[in-house]
Amino acid sequence: MNKNGELGFIHRFVPSSGSSATLLLLHGTGGDENDLLPIGHQLLPEAALLSPRGRVRENGMLRFFRRVAEGVFDLQDLAIQTEALAEFIKRAANQYKFDTGQVIAVGYSNGANIAASVMLNEPNLLRGAVLFRPMVPFVPDSRRDLRNVSALLAAGRRDPIVSPEETSSLARLFEAGGALVSIHWHNGGHELGNDDLAAAKEWLELWPPAT
């Protein structure tokens, strides 16, 4: 199902074929709402898929929020776009009748960063997340209650954009709020490897984790 701007974002929605989970698919810079659909089907075949298109353009490439330089985010725009995406998730849940308590973000790079921002801004809106090559989107001024949230961070040991220290910092930020965090280390760089997808699939098949 293709929606041209309805609910605030151009998006694709694929209904569930048996699972109660909905994967929120968030593409990287230069992608669109179609990019992660095959990965969503691969990771959790029976899940519903909700895949919005980023609303910001940078040199003709779609993104979810602006940046002022590589790795330096426009925090004002990040806040605006994060709020817009959170509202989109709520409206989509009402429109497509899926359970917001079963939404798991699957984001790559810029998409992973906006997912992390949503998690920090509206704890428990996303109950789980698979974040491929994420960065710390911002540091909140108070601790967030993330005790009902779990996340898999998939990072590249030789990523020229996201350092291992950045990944560890995001993990600590989530864990400080009580989130259950796992990290998968890919031996390459910023690109996705088959090992990333295998780790994500295994994590999703065991979600929600036992507490």
Give the contacts of 40 (CB within 8 A, at least 6 positions apart): 14, 23, 25, 47, 49, 51, 106
Catalytic residue among 11, 35, 150, 159: 159
**Three-state SS annotation for 126-191:** ECEEEEECCCCCCCCCCCCCCCCCEEEEEEECCCCCCCHHHHHHHHHHHHHCCCEEEEEEECCCCC
Q: Which of 51, 109, 117, 150 is an active site residue?
A: 109
Helix or strand run (H / E) with residue 50: strand 48-52
Task: Establish whether 190 is a catalytic residue.
Answer: yes
Report the alpha-carbon angle 155-21-143, nearest 5: 55
Judge whether 11 counts as a catalytic residue: no
The answer to whether 117 is a known catalytic residue is no
User: Residue holding tokens 């910001």?
Assistant: 56
Confirm if 44 and 24 have CB atoms less than 8 A apart: no
User: Catalytic residue numbers?
Assistant: 109, 159, 190
